[in-house]
Amino acid sequence: MTSRKVPVLIVGAGPVGLALAGDLGWRGVQCCLVEKTDGAIYQPRMDMVGVRTMEFCRRWGIAGWVENSPYPRDYPQDNVWLESLTGFEFGRERMASKSEEPCPPQSPQKRERCPQDMFDPILRRFAGQFSAVEFRYRTELIDLEEGGTSVVATLRDLDTGREDKVVADYLVGTDGAASIVREKLGIPMRGEPVLTYTTNVIFRCRDLPSLHDKGKAYRFIFIGREGTWLTIVAIDGADRWRMSIIGDKSKREIPESEIRALIVRAMGKPFDFEIESIMPWVRRELMAETYGTDRVFLAGAVLLAGACISFAQSTSHAKTSEMGTQKRESVVVPSEILYGAAYYHEYMPYDRLDKDVALMKEAGISVVRMGESTWSLWEPQDGHFEYAWMDRVVDAMGKAGGVITGDNSNTQFALLALWNARRHGVPVECPILQCYQRFVSSQNRDGGFPSQPGEDSNAQSTAWAVQGLLAAGRLAGFEVNERFYEVGSPAGIEETERFILGQERPAERTPPDP
């Protein structure tokens, strides 16, 4: 068995592994990237490149490669809620195409629609420019041994069966949720192993938009008497479509005959299509107990399965001011990068708040995004505001210590309060509204339709939710009507105060205890 040395060994050539190899090569650091597959992507698992990733691409000089990927930049990005493609349309959230979407004020880059089967080749091309980067596809890691000054990895060529050893200064596992690196380190995952069993189907139909009257859109959300049962997204803006069959905790294999019937049901009539691939998968809510050792590190989906992780950076600021009759104490925002997750306690079917807070504190989470799509909970009746349910969650976060709430009530992603749906002419006898009414009473979630009408009312309910959180010193930022306000700087605080004072004042509320 042969043996050789390399400074960094990367296991897993997905977007994270390819980006790491490219960045190391860009810096002149020798590395070896191994991947057990041939690198072909049959089921893209990501299709949006975020702002921060685009900033890295800008640094590397490849932002233009992503912007000029084959995905049409003029393709509408709307979300459409509907019965079927030839049936009733319940609502539409209009979204700008990538050519029309502006960059956010905080960055010279914006999000780009670039599915993994387009993005991975771009990263591969970038990393391949550097002689310091070695690629070994169809090669798997079968063992590793960590010492005081190095890591010895045993690799196997899947085509020849030949094994060899690589001695690395450092090893990085970017090999996905079923990571062999994490397994070899004995690092357990904590959380819920199964949320739902879902099946993704890629099918081809070039003329799909011409077969119905809904036009082009990025995502179609299909709703029946059973609730949301299917989504279809324009995976390449041309002839490939990804259909996700919404499942539950019951594991079952869906036969192709049933899949074909579901595609026809989504269209509302028979049509010609070709199934390209079928991939059952499990939606999980897991987090690795630790992120590595002295010389072996985990990155990407190795750490998380089904969790939503976001990062934000703010500056420290402390100020006291008057807002109406409420006095706000110091807002303390750490100067370091905040590490956190989206947390929607109102969606939970049972009370697990204390357990969730304890797990987040143990994981080192310092910020949470809450209150998204909650208009109908904050304002259950026109002009009647209720905040106690959110105050309870914020209070629990604050008492845990070190957790700062990043509150969010983005109107464009919220759902209409039922009273407002009726105000704007949505027929209450509509089966989907009745379905949502039952859903609201049973699951304590928002009901209805994409919130185009009534944005001023939603802004009012948001303003007075924000006021209480700000007064308690537990707000990092919030979003309303597609505008983000951050309260970690003097300018941000002044802008937030102007927003609050610009709204009509509802009945007084008691903020959570500081």
Low-confidence stretches of the chain (pLDDT beneath 70):
1, 301-339, 347, 349-350, 372-380, 382-383, 385, 387, 401-514
* Closest among 342, 445, 487, 413 to 91, alpha carbons compared: 413
List Cα–Cα distances, 11 to 39, 40, 304, in angstroms.
13, 16, 17
pTM, 2 dp? 0.62
CB atoms within 10 A of CB 245: 19
Q: Give the strand pairing for 240-245 and 189-204.
A: antiparallel
Q: How far apart are CA 412 and CA 458, in angstroms?
A: 10
Question: Please, are residues 205 and 274 in contact by the beta-carbon 8 Å criterion?
Answer: yes
- Using one digit for the tens of pLDDT, what is the confidence trace for 322-337? 223 333 333 333 445 5
- Using one digit for the tens of pLDDT, what is the confidence trace for 367-420? 787 776 666 666 667 667 676 777 788 778 777 765 555 544 433 333 444 445
End-to-end CA distance of the chain: 64
Question: Which residues, other chains included, contact 22 with Cβ-Cβ below 8 Å and sequence gap of 6+?
Answer: 60, 123, 126, 127, 130, 133
SS3 of residue 16 by DSSP: helix
Question: Residue 414's pLDDT is what?
Answer: 37
CB atoms within 10 A of CB 464: 23
Q: Show the CA angle centred on residue 235, arms to residues 234 and 240, nearest 5°.
A: 85
Identify the residue whose tokens are 């030949």. Answer: 162
Question: Which residues, other chains included, contact 460 with Cβ-Cβ below 8 Å and sequence gap of 6+?
Answer: 379, 503, 504, 506
Question: Residue 112's pLDDT is what?
Answer: 94
SS3 of residue 23 by DSSP: helix
Identify the residue whose tokens are 């949301």. Answer: 228
Question: Please, are residues 310 and 338 in contact by the beta-carbon 8 Å criterion?
Answer: no
Question: Residue 396's pLDDT is what?
Answer: 82
Q: For the chain, list the domains and their CATH numbers.
A: 2-47+115-185 (3.50.50.60), 73-111+189-288 (3.30.9.10), 308-501 (no CATH)
